[in-house]
């Protein structure tokens, strides 16, 4: 094994909707982490693995820090703390059109106490004319600052080079062919959730959770069963739609994405169930897979 090979963990943190998932997808060139215009889409860590001849970077895509209004949000905070504890470098993503929000300032204070080296990525520079001031401000709290656009791909190679500077010399942890250590059923869950996010306004996306109950890979097809948990009886007809039109739309769109990813025919069966206040109930959260 090459003694100059580097391998380590880079945690991506920042406010919801700044473009963390887009960044990871731009780097990996795969739709690993779901993206939608609504904040808080990402509820769990996703490890995306970038490998080339000289390095392997394992990215942790975290949900943002949030107000602990719901039990779920406290879960997210503890996930973030665990993630940062294991990282060799922390990437703080913020968006140029809105920087600095109060939230940004608070966030910067919180991560000042992290031991790992910190890189600030000023994202969405395609949307602003001048970002000099933001760069100066970020420069005061970070080891490195880089302007990027995850959407257009600007400076993605520089992100990789900056991160590599801080990685330890180590052989790769994962097979260089792997893009993620997440099982395919996890992606199925994420893709279904993305379709719910994209097809409904406020209420339904935040009231729902998706759990894969059955995932079977056969020779030429994959059979998947999933339950969509919602909070109230009144949400059921909305989610299902007139004559089942909405749920069919979600199913078809999810099947299409999954087929692209898996490279096989996918048969998806969706069930809708009610679990009142699943968000506030620790036991229910565990049952739903937020361990």
User: Which residues bind to ligand GDP, rule: CB under 6 A?
Assistant: 16-22, 35, 37, 39, 41-42, 123-124, 126-127, 149-151
| Binding-site partner at residue 124 among Mg ion, ligand GDP, none, CB < 5 to 8 Å by type | ligand GDP
Q: What is the largest CA-CA distance in the chain?
A: 62
| Binding-site partner at residue 150 among ligand GDP, Mg ion, none, CB < 5 to 8 Å by type | ligand GDP
Report the C-alpha gap between 145 and 159 in whole angstroms.
10
Tell me if residue 204 falls in helix, strand or coil: helix
CB of 46 to Mg ion, least distance (A): 9
Residue 198 corresponds to which tokens in the numbers above? 């994209």
Do the beta carbons of residue 147 and residue 185 sit within 8 Å? no
Report the C-alpha gap between 242 and 240 in whole angstroms.
7
CB of 221 to Mg ion, least distance (A): 30
C-alpha triplet 251, 228, 270: angle, nearest 5°: 35
Report the C-alpha gap between 122 and 92 in whole angstroms.
8
243: left (phi over 0), alpha (psi -120 to 50) or beta: left
Nearer to Mg ion, 209 or 222 (CB): 209
CB of 6 to Mg ion, least distance (A): 26
* Angle at which helices 156-165 and 20-28 cross, to 10°: 90
Instruction: Report the site for Mg ion in 122-161 (rule: CB under 5 A).
Output: none
| Binding-site partner at residue 37 among Mg ion, ligand GDP, none, CB < 5 to 8 Å by type | ligand GDP
Binding mask 38-77 for Mg ion (x = CB under 5 A): ----x-----------------------------------
CB of 126 to Mg ion, least distance (A): 18
Q: If binding is defined by CB under 5 A, does position 21 make contact with Mg ion?
A: yes
Binding residues for Mg ion (CB under 5 A): 20-21, 42
């Amino acid at each position: 094994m090459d003694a100059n090979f580097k391998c380590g963990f880079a945690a991506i943190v920042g406010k919801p909707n700044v473009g963390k998932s887009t960044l990871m997808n731009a780097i990996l060139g795969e739709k690993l982490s779901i993206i939608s215009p609504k904040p808080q889409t990402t509820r769990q860590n996703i490890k995306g693995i970038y490998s080339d001849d000289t390095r392997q970077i394992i990215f942790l895509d975290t949900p943002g820090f949030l107000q602990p209004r719901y039990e779920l949000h406290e879960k997210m905070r503890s996930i973030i703390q665990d993630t940062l504890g294991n990282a060799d470098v922390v990437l703080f993503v913020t968006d140029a059109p809105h920087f600095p929000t109060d939230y940004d300032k608070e966030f910067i204070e919180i991560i000042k106490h992290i031991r790992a080296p910190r890189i600030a990525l000023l994202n969405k520079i395609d949307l602003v004319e001048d970002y000099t001031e933001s760069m100066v401000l970020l420069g005061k709290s970070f080891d490195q600052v880089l302007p990027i656009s995850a959407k257009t791909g600007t400076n993605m190679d520089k992100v990789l080079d900056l991160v590599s500077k801080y990685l330890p010399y180590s052989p790769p942890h994962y097979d260089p062919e792997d893009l993620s250590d997440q099982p395919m059923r996890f992606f199925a869950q994420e893709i279904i959730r993305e379709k719910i996010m994209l097809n409904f306004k406020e209420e339904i996306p935040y009231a729902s959770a998706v759990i894969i109950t059955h995932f079977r890979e056969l020779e030429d097809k994959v059979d998947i069963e999933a339950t969509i948990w919602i909070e109230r009886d009144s949400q059921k007809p909305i989610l299902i739609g007139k004559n089942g039109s909405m749920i069919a739309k979600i199913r078809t769109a999810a099947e299409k994405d999954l087929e692209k990813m898996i490279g096989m025919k996918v048969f998806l069966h969706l069930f809708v169930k009610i679990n009142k206040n699943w968000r506030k109930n620790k036991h229910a959260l565990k049952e739903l897979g937020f361990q």
